[in-house]
Structure 1
Amino acid sequence: MVTEPRQDIPGDGRDESPQERADRQWQELIQEIRVAQTGVQILFGFLLTVVFAPTFVGLSQTDKTIYVITVVLGSLATGALIGPVAFHRIVSGRRIKPEAVAWASRLTFVGLILLLATCTSALFLVLRVATHNSLVPWLVGGVFAWYLLCWFVLPVWARIRYTADPHGQDPS
Structure 2
Amino acid sequence: MTEMDATANSERRRGRDETEEERADRMWTDLIQEVRVAQMGVQILFAFLLTVVFTPKYGDLSDTNQTIYLVTVVLGAVTTGALIGPVSLHRIVSGRRVKPQAVRLASRLTLLGLVLLLATMTSSLLLILRVATDDGFVPYLVTGVVVWYLVCWFGIPLWTRHRYTSR
Q: 1:82: which partner in 2? A: 84
* SS in structure 2 at match of 1:52: coil
Q: 1:21: which partner in 2? A: 23
1:124 aligns with 2:142: no
Aligned identity (percent) is: 65
Q: 2:163: which partner in 1? A: 161
Q: 1:139: which partner in 2? A: 141
CA distance in 1, matches of 2:48, 2:89: 27
> How many angstroms does 1:8 deviate by?
4.2
2:33 is aligned, of 31, 34, 43, to: 31
CA distance in 2, matches of 1:145, 1:164: 28
Moved segments of 4+, more than 4 Å: none
Q: 2:47: which partner in 1? A: 45
Distance change (3 Å), C-alpha of 1:8 and 1:158:
farther
Q: 1:109: which partner in 2? A: 111
CA distance in 1, matches of 2:100, 2:38: 22
CA distance in 1, matches of 2:158, 2:13: 19
CA distance in 2, matches of 1:135, 1:23: 47
Unaligned runs of 5+ in 2: 1-11
1:149 aligns with 2:151: yes
Deviation digits for residues 64-118 of structure 1 (CA, Å, limit 9, x no counterpart): 0000000000101000000000001111111000000000000000000000000
Q: Which amino acid aligns with 1:131?
A: T
Q: Which amino acid aligns with 1:29?
A: L
Higher share in helix: 2
Q: TM-score, normalised by structure 2?
A: 0.92
Q: 1:57: which partner in 2? A: 59
Q: Which amino acid aligns with 2:58?
A: F
Distance change (3 Å), C-alpha of 1:73 and 1:109:
same
Q: TM-score, normalised by structure 1?
A: 0.89
- Rg bigger for which structure? 2
Unaligned runs of 5+ in 1: 1-6, 166-172
* SS in structure 2 at match of 1:47: helix
| CA root-mean-square deviation | 0.8
Higher relative contact order (CA 8 A, sep 6+): 1
* SS in structure 2 at match of 1:15: coil
CA distance in 1, matches of 2:29, 2:126: 35
CA distance in 1, matches of 2:81, 2:49: 15
Equivalent residues, number: 156
